[in-house]
Amino acid sequence: MGRWKNGAQCAAMLTFDVDGETLWLSGDITQLDQVGMLSQGTYGPRVAVPLILNLLRQKDLKATFFIPGWTAEAHHKSLVPVVEWGHEVGHHGWLHEWPTALTRDEEQEVLEQGLHALRELTGKDPAGYRSPAWEFSDNTLTLLNDYGFKYSSNLMSHFIPWQHAETGIIELPVSWLLDDAPFFLYGPGGRNSKPIHAADDVFKIWTEEFRGIYQYGGLFNLTMHPQIIGRPGRVQMLSRLIDYINSFPDVWWATGEEVADYWVEHGDASPVSGASIDL
């Protein structure tokens, strides 16, 4: 029997950070005239999100979409189907600000702006928060707790969830290894200029890590960005990845909120990541 719902051996989450143009604005709205640069981000909500939604419908899966408030407003029409098709929407800042660069008041304002925009999109408060930089300030966890968030998906210190001691917020851990950006994100002029990998290479890397996480009964929490994973060839790879994972018995596909809810009830509530893992 695995540790997951109905004895599943492994939990698997597909998450999409729908940054849109905010990834390229770097919190600076004055750069809105950089049309060529920003078009890389526009591709995400406008073209990639529909491709991804179609794929998820074909595979009968629900995913979690973390959306900056600014993007939720600017691309409202493209993002309504995310909600209509039953996917979870989580908080991802307002203009993709790094919490570590903000004062407490600024961070609170950004949190509220994001909340307001997501309520307009979904009609409810989000349960989850993913920092635009996977980074916390000293105030982040307290603010998340004050605003009623159930979970965070930002830290890398394990591959099973844990509960933050101070607040009880559940952490759904991430990893650069399970992120599309290190393999595919490219920008001219030095910024983000990494070699672009073949999707087949990344399929190999992600399936390799899946096999390990499955063996140890962990959480396979894949972070993707529609503007990156949503290129046609990569969507095909994601389709193959889902099929590959589905070839294993006892995998529990879940949204972030479902995993967090389950962990509150059934997980080991040890606040120390790693202290309780039973290998």
Binding site for Zn ion (CB under 5 A): 17, 19, 132
Taking the complex as a whole, how short is the minimal distance between the CB of residue 52 and Zn ion, in angstroms?
15
For residue 96, the minimal CB distance to Zn ion (Å) is 6
- Which residue, 19 or 171, is less far from Zn ion as judged by CB? 19
Nearest approach, Cβ of residue 107 and Zn ion (Å) = 16
**Which is nearer to Zn ion, 48 or 245 (by Cβ)?**
48
Question: Contact, 7 vs 250, CB < 8 A?
Answer: yes
Contact 96, 22 (CB under 8 A): yes
Please tell me the distance from the alpha carbon of residue 181 to that of residue 185, in angstroms, as a whole number.
Answer: 5
Minimum CB–partner distance for residue 133 and Zn ion (Å)? 8
- Tell me how far, at minimum, the Cβ of 256 lies from Zn ion, in Å: 15
Could you give the CA distance from residue 99 to residue 36 in angstroms, rounded to a whole number?
27
Alpha helices in the chain (DSSP H): 22-25, 35-43, 49-59, 69-74, 76-84, 104-122, 140-146, 181-184, 199-215, 226-229, 232-246, 256-266
For Zn ion, which is the closer residue by CB, 10 or 229? 229
Sign of the Cα pseudo-torsion (57, 217, 206, 182, in order): positive
Q: Which residues on neighbouring strands pair with residue 163, listed in sequence order?
A: 170
What is the smallest separation between the CB atom of 80 and Zn ion, expressed in angstroms?
Answer: 20
Pick between residue 93 and residue 217 the one whose CB is nearest to Zn ion.
93
Please state the closest distance from residue 111 (CB atom) to Zn ion, in A.
15
45 or 267: CB nearest Zn ion? 45
CB environment 194-217: b (16+ within 10 A), e (fewer) = eeeeebeebbeebeebbeebbeeb
Q: Which residue stretches of 128-222 are H helix?
A: 140-146, 181-184, 199-215
Q: Are 210 and 244 spatial neighbours (Cβ–Cβ below 8 Å)?
A: yes
Beta carbon nearer to Zn ion, 17 or 257: 17
Q: Which is nearer to Zn ion, 3 or 130 (CB)?
A: 130
Q: Please say which residue, 17 or 258, places its beta carbon nearer to Zn ion.
A: 17
Instruction: Determine the Cα–Cα distance for residues 60 and 56; give it in Å rounded to an integer.
Output: 6
- Which residues does 260 contact at the CB level (< 8 Å), separation at least 6? 127, 128, 150, 151, 161, 170, 172
Q: Give me the least distance between CB of 41 and Zn ion, in Å please.
A: 10
C-alpha 86: how far from chain center: 16
